[in-house]
Amino acid sequence: MDFFRELSNHSEVKLSILKKYTIPWMRKIILNKYGPRKCLIIDGFAGPGKYDDDSDGSPMILIKN
């Protein structure tokens, strides 16, 4: 799918939000004083995980962090 070949402006904003807010929020939910918890994120706009320039998409960012 050509849509996911290059990182577009709106995708860049999405990845920025993911890194700055979602991942820290998930850490608070999963790693808390009451013990480990489960957390599920459904990304309805996720692509294959990598762009043609080898930069990470949202699936890879979530897996690596």
pTM: 0.68
Q: 23: which residues sit within 8 A by CB, 6+ positions away?
A: 61, 62, 65
Q: Distance between CA atoms of 10 and 33, rounded to whole angstroms? A: 36
Average confidence score pLDDT of the chain:
83
pLDDT recorded at residue 53: 86
| Distance, CA of 4 to CA of 7 (rounded, Å) | 7
Collapse the DSSP code of 25 into the 3-class scheme (helix H, G, I; strand E, B; otherwise coil) and give the result: helix
The whole-angstrom separation of Cα 20 and Cα 48 is 21
